[in-house]
Structure 1
Amino acid sequence: MPKVLLESIRVGALLVPLLLVLAVEHSWAETSDADELLALLSEDDYFALIRHALAPGTGDPEQFEVDDCRTQRNLDGAGRRQAMTMGQRLRDAGITQALVYSSQWCRCLETAELLAIGPVIPLPSLNSFFQARHRAETQTTELKSWLSEQPLDLPTVLSTHQVNITALTDVFPNSGEILIVYRDADNNYQLVGSVVTAIE
């Protein structure tokens, strides 16, 4: 198993070590433990947004083709180890089976597969719009519409990109960060907290 060098929880915009005792504003989200936070995925109306694991570089090459991983920015060895560690953290929290959806980008698909918590289903609304910013509003609306139609009565994990996560939550996530989000009765989405795993 990859060596975990640092784990931390983010509450809102604050990133703090797990050793600190945390309290958040909403009683339904109070936790000071990463396992408790991740275990919320077993409850109705919670889901996880994951920024793909470490992939050196920024954006994608000019010759990018969505169906050809050779033309894309991909996970390196450290990124693969990070993704496997993320999956182990989820399993340790009791999330052994989940509905797993992913951007069609290879680095997101590979991250999702290495979690090893369920078959991976490509979802175009999770695709990056980093190099097509005019798509941001439309695509985020599409994702919100899709989420509003999901029962979220089973653990649900979405593997995607920084820009997509920021558009939905206003948070700039780290590579490999697992964000736990709550959907309320009005289909509003609120970040409960997140777990960051850094690796050797």
Structure 2
Amino acid sequence: MKAFFLLLLLLLPTTGLADDPAWQAWREGKALLLMRHALAPGTGDPAGFVLENCSTQRNLNNEGRQQAGRWGDLLRAQHSGAITVYSSQWCRCLDTARLMALAAPQPLPLLNSFFAGRGDGDKQTAALVQQYSSAQIDQPTVLVTHQVNFTALTGIFPRSGEAAIIALPLTQPATVLARITAP
């Protein structure tokens, strides 16, 4: 039985450990946590999409809501102080950010999806890089966004609820310090 637990410890990803350098950089404001929204089955948004009306959008399912809650637990385990949370204005991102229960999410249009021509990916990504061009920020920060935004910035195609800790100053492509699967 003891051997089983030892093997289990060896298989755990280091990104979950408090002393991991990527998590330390995030806690110190030297990195951002970039996250694709939690599970919202499907692709894109239905015809008739209206940003201000969640009933016209693809939304989190029960598993996605649970993922978001587990993200909040994980982030609180990593940092007991204040955490800044920015989110795309899409309901699935805002809901992910709210359900993490870290802080009231601040809508940030630069994080809005540009899938299917809804925005300007090059301009949004460049503006995000410019916004985080300093080597350090005041406190740990989470950015909740969409797959296309995540991919444009990092070159990674993330699964729903996946995150990356990315170094500051932000560059394109971003310097990825760690990838974290949905808890």
TM range (shorter): 0.7 to 0.9
Corresponding residue SS for 2:34: strand
Matched residue type, 2:51:
V
- 1:1-200 to 2 correspondences below 5 Å: 19-20=10-11, 32-35=14-17, 36=20, 37-132=22-117, 135-148=120-133, 151-184=136-169, 187-188=170-171, 189-197=174-182
Distance 2:143 2:121 in 1: 17
The percent of aligned pairs where both chains have the same amino acid is 45
How far is 1:90 from its partner?
0.9
Measured at CA, do residues 196 and 96 of structure 1 come closer, stay the same or move farther in structure 2, by a change above 3 Å?
Answer: farther
By how many angstroms is 1:175 displaced?
0.7
Kindly provide the amino acid, as one letter, of the partner of residue 100 in structure 1.
V
TM-score of the superposed pair, with normalisation by structure 2: 0.85
CA contact (8 A) 1:84 1:115 kept: yes
Aligned residue pairs, count: 171
Cα 1:103–1:95, aligned 2, differ >3 Å: closer, same or farther?
A: farther
SS at match of 1:197: coil
Describe the shift of the 1:126–1:18 C-alpha distance in structure 2 as closer, same or farther (beyond 3 A): farther
